[in-house]
Amino acid sequence: MMLPEPRRRPGPRPALTVLLAAPRGFCAGVDRAIRIVEEALKRHGAPVYVRHEIVHNRFVVEGLAAQGAVFVEELDEIPDDGRPVVFSAHGVPRSVPDEAMRRRMFTLDATCPLVTKVHREAERHHARGRHILLIGHAGHPEVVGTMGQLPPGAATLVQDAEEARTVAPPAGLPLAWTSQTTLSVDDTAEVVAILAARFPGIAGPAKEDICYATSNRQAAVKGIVARGAEVVIVVGAPNSSNSVRLAEVARRAGARDAVLVQRGAELDPEALAGCATLGLTAGASAPESLVREVLDRLRESFEVTVEDVVVAEERIAFRLPPALAAE
């Protein structure tokens, strides 16, 4: 896709301070998932099949497709030709690897290890006879994957505080809660508090389920708003849960507006007229190149000064599956 040529305003451009949130962009789980597809293509050539978008960013998906990745929604779209099949970072129901094994497919699991942790946690609660209240968004692939680790009826979805106040789990069973990894930290804390008040003794995870990257990126957004960001731009896809949550967090933290864009060409600088201090971040599945596009777009209309706002440093890295480990 060709980007439009930069358009410079005639005359002096207004000054704009951009507070650049850190951490932002790719997390360790996203980086690992993309590397799995790239390494599979390098070792085995094209095509490499990927069930669902490997991460929720169409530019990442299009880039991998250009290298030979073929994205499908279900295994029945994949021929029995022995080619590698990658499961996305969001995780899959247990039925998917079971079907792949039945068909003797060569599979590579790109599920984020922190999502896998939630799967194992849900299984342990179920094994102990607990009914699980899963905090998450209906239809999100991660929620579908987590609920798919359990027998039908073993978990009940709780999407928000309102549902937490009214949910009616099966009577007579001990309860446990777990959550999607990409939720709002504050919203989840509210839901958990309601569940704990309604169901004393409900078990929770030994360590919170919302992943470090989600927590850090939300804290960074609060940091740039606290530093005076009037508007926050979030680079990310509309189907990316963690990106949408960042925009919500910005508004709740006090920004007068938050704008979700997928790349620089989508940004209308005219909509920022009168804004002197802008916040900029990116969801965990958005590459840094798209952040740079947004900065370039802003420079077409403003005299931009960039200031980094760092709230945490991330040094976590996840290993590739054994089948792709360095030989």
Residue range 45-60: average pLDDT?
Answer: 96
Chain segment 136-169, per-residue pLDDT in tens: 999 999 999 999 999 999 999 999 999 999 999 9
Residue range 15-41: average pLDDT?
Answer: 97
Class (C level, CATH) for 28-112: alpha beta
Q: Are 113 and 135 in contact (CB under 8 A)?
A: no
In the numeric block, the tokens 């606290």 are attached to 226
Domain extents for the chain?
Answer: 15-26+212-310, 28-112, 114-198
User: What would the two tokens of residue 1 be?
Assistant: 């896709």
Beta-carbon-side half-sphere exposure of residue 284 (alpha carbons within 13 Å): 29
The CA distance from 61 to 262, in Å, is 13
Is the pLDDT confidence value at 171 over 50? yes
Residue 243 neighbours by CB distance under 10 Å: 26
Is the pLDDT confidence value at 6 over 50? no
The reply to whether CATH 3.40.1010.20 applies to domain 114-198 is yes
Residue range 233-239: average pLDDT?
Answer: 96
Residue range 113-125: average pLDDT?
Answer: 96
Query: How long a stretch of residues is the chain?
Result: 327
In the numeric block, the tokens 């470090």 are attached to 212
Tell me what pLDDT residue 209 has.
79
Prediction pTM value: 0.92
Residue range 5-25: average pLDDT?
Answer: 81
Q: Of 18, 15, 29, 21, give the one whose Cα is nearest residue 247.
A: 21
Residue range 42-52: average pLDDT?
Answer: 97
Q: Are 23 and 213 in contact (CB under 8 A)?
A: yes
Residue 102 identity = R
Q: Which fold has domain 15-26+212-310?
A: Cobalt-precorrin-4 Transmethylase; domain 1 (3.40.1010)
Chain segment 63-83, per-residue pLDDT in tens: 999 999 999 999 999 999 999
Tell me what pLDDT residue 1 has.
41
Q: Of 276, 246, 275, 274, give the one whose Cα is nearest residue 259.
A: 246
Tell me what pLDDT residue 147 has.
97
Q: How far apart are the first and last CA of the chain?
A: 37
Q: Are 15-26+212-310 and 114-198 equal in CATH topology?
A: yes
142 included as an active-site residue:
yes
Is the pLDDT confidence value at 208 over 80? no
Per-residue pLDDT band at 225 (split at 50, 70, 90): very high
Active-site position among 123, 142, 230, 314: 142
Percent of the chain with pLDDT over 70: 96
Residue range 313-321: average pLDDT?
Answer: 94
Chain segment 95-112, per-residue pLDDT in tens: 999 999 999 999 999 999
Q: Average per-residue pLDDT in the chain?
A: 94
Tell me what pLDDT residue 11 has.
60
Residue range 18-27: average pLDDT?
Answer: 97
User: What would the two tokens of residue 233 be?
Assistant: 């731009």
Tell me what pLDDT residue 118 has.
96
